[in-house]
Structures are given as C-alpha cells and as structure tokens.
C-alpha cells in the first residue's frame, strides 16, 4: 500500500493564496455550536408551535439522528474520499475538503466543517427534507439530523485531541485512528462504526 504523507505536528499548511479564502478554511471547534444550536432550538419551538405532539416529535427526532449517521458515512466515503487519479480537479477538491486533514490530522483549525461549507450543506439538506417529508414534520426531523452533525463534528475534534477513558469512546477513537494510520479505504464512520459493519468497510480489530 502506498504510504501517505502524515504530519505529526499541529502545523497548518496553507491551502489558498488568497487570504480571505484561507480564513474560510479554518474554524474553532466551538463555532458550529454557536451556529447550529439556535437552529435546533428554533426547529423544536416551531414543532411544538404546530402542536405535532411529543411522541411524534420524538420519533422524528430519532429518525433524524439515524439518517445523519447514514449521511455521515456516505459523504465521508463517496464525497470526501472521491479522488480519481486521472482527474486533477478531483484531486484538488479532495485535498481542500478532506485530504488536508489526512496530511495534517492534528491541525486543530481543520477538524470541524467551516461555516462556508456547513451552512450551505445544512440549507440544502433542510430544503431536501422539507420537500420529502409531510408538512411540518421537518421541524421534528431536522433538529435530530443537525444534532447528529454536531455530535459528529465535536466527536471528531475530541478524537484527535483528547484521551478517552471509557471503553466506548476508546473504541470510537481506535476506529478512526485506524482509518488515518492503517487504511484510509476503511472506517468511514466517525461517530459510529455502524455503517462500516453494514457495508463491509470495517477493520478486523484484535
């Protein structure tokens, strides 16, 4: 297997000559919380304003969380790791969106999605779900989906910067570290290895 470049320092490599674009590629790990927690609160408010009922809200919320885990897996595997060697533009896009993280996994400013990416993505998903789901159900479903995203982002940061004592967290960290340092073509689930087990992209862990 070809050995990939990996920096063990916390340095940040410059990705853009333009200073404004470069600033958009970096973000503190708490920023997604300030952006999306109010979105979650607003959606919950709208849901109960529409008198959908607590049980229905709970079911939609859990469904949103579950759909996020699948979305996380699909995006990581088929979007972030899309890098055909015969397409230079795809190689460049891969590096910008994800390759830089594999080269500099300890870069604290590139461990969560910057708002320049997360806000357009979240907006697109919102309108997609609003078009698919029955009227007003999106306000129960979407906050669960966004909470799943926040859990993914913060978990990803913690995996690279914190030492865990609990067995579950240790297993989640081990799963992601194997993705980085053993085989980047396996272990696409970050917050959960569920879909790696389903689709056969899990590691044989001893």
pLDDT digits (tens, 9 = 90+) for 3-28: 566 666 677 777 778 888 878 778 88
Instruction: Tell me if 194 is assigned to some domain.
Output: no
Check the CA dihedral 190-194-198-202 and report its sign: positive
Q: Contact 138/130 with Cβ under 8 angstroms? A: yes
The total domain count for the chain is 1
The pair of three-digit structure tokens given for residue 107, joined into one six-digit string: 């870069």
Note if the pTM is more than 0.75.
yes
The per-residue pLDDT for 86 is: 75
Instruction: Tell me if 195 is assigned to some domain.
Output: no
The DSSP letter of residue 161 is H
Instruction: Tell me if 196 is assigned to some domain.
Output: no
Instruction: Tell me if 5 is assigned to some domain.
Output: no
Selection from 109, 97, 76, 104 nearest residue 186 by Cα: 76
């Amino acid at each position: 297997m070809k050995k990939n470049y990996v920096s063990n320092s916390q340095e940040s490599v410059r990705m853009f000559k333009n200073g404004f674009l470069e600033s958009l590629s970096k973000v503190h790990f708490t920023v997604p919380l300030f952006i999306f927690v109010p979105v979650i609160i607003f959606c919950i408010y709208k849901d109960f304003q529409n008198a959908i009922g607590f049980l229905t809200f709970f079911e939609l919320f859990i469904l949103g969380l579950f759909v996020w885990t699948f979305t996380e897996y699909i995006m990581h595997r088929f979007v972030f790791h899309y890098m055909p060697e015969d397409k230079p533009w795809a190689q460049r896009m891969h590096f910008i969106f994800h390759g830089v993280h594999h080269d500099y996994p300890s870069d604290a400013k590139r461990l969560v999605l910057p708002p320049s990416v997360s806000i357009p993505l979240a907006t697109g998903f919102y309108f997609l779900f609003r078009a698919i789901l029955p009227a007003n159900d999106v306000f129960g479903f979407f906050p669960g989906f966004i909470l799943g995203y926040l859990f993914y982002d913060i978990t990803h940061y913690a995996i690279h910067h914190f030492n865990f004592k609990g067995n579950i967290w240790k297993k989640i960290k081990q799963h992601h570290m194997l993705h980085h340092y053993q085989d980047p073509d396996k272990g696409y689930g970050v917050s959960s290895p569920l879909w790696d087990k389903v689709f056969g992209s899990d590691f044989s862990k001893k």
